[in-house]
Chains A and B, each alone.
Chain A
Amino acid sequence: DGGITQSPKYLFRKEGQNVTLSCEQNLNHDAMYWYRQDPGQGLRLIYYSQIVNDFQKGDIAEGYSVSREKKESFPLTVTSAQKNPTAFYLCASSSRTSGGYEQYFGPGTRLTVT
């Protein structure tokens, strides 16, 4: 089946630790995105990548880092510098289709930092 996978579904970490969230897609999409969603809120863009070995900061990149070494993979690291890391993290991908670039989302990772 084609799609986006994120692992793990739930993640618990102690404050001060870095943690890496996995995102893999087999849709052959060029662009990938990371969003953060807080309870009752919309989606806020953390980082995005339009091509391998290139990525750009989104609206809330502070305290996060990414890499795009392969087209299929776009891992997100939540560093200890992120002040409020507890949230629902969503990865998405899109392709240049005629008229627009609808995004396909993975199931998400719920990160809890205590």
Chain B
Amino acid sequence: GQQVMQIPQYQHVQEGEDFTTYCNSSTTLSNIQWYKQRPGGHPVFLIQLVKSGEVKKQKRLTFQFGEAKKNSSLHITATQTTDVGTYFCAVPKRTDSWGKLQFGAGTQVVVTP
């Protein structure tokens, strides 16, 4: 079956540093989505990538879709305490039913002031 792996599972970052988290799929994807869940909160949609090699930026967050459309990355520059949370990638399930997503296990980000 389809597998979605997120690396690393945990990321401890000093405030002000940069880091990257990765999402890898065993199959070619039509698109990929990223969500952020703050501690004690619910997932919030961040962005969707559709095109091969696509790069999108949201302030200090840079999202990239791989050329082969099998992986994606999220890079955060100058990490702030507001970046704390778990970042999930989500990919369409390989079924006939639209809208179904398979979520990765997430990267839990802890920021040290």
Asked whether any CB of chain A lies closer than 8 Å to the CB of B55, the reply is no
Instruction: List CB contacts (< 8 Å) of B81-113 with chain A.
Output: 88, 90, 92, 97-106, 108
Q: How many A-B residue pairs have CB under 8 A?
A: 59
Instruction: Select which of A40, A103, A104 is within 8 A of B101 by beta carbon.
Output: A103
Residues of A within 8 A of B98 (CB): 31, 50, 96, 101
Asked whether any CB of chain A lies closer than 8 Å to the CB of B48, the reply is yes
Residues of A within 8 A of B99 (CB): 31, 33, 48, 50, 94, 96, 101, 103
Residues 39-76 of chain A, each 1 if its beta carbon lies under 8 Å from chain B, else 0: 01111010010100000101000000000000000000
Closest Cβ of chain A to B49, distance in Å, is 9
Closest Cβ of chain A to B89, distance in Å, is 10
Q: A108 and B88: CB pair below 8 A? A: no
Number of interface residues of B (CB under 8 A): 23
Q: A103 and B48: CB pair below 8 A? A: no
Residue of chain B at shortest CB distance from A105: B42
Residue of chain B at shortest CB distance from A35: B103
Q: B43 and A43: CB pair below 8 A? A: yes
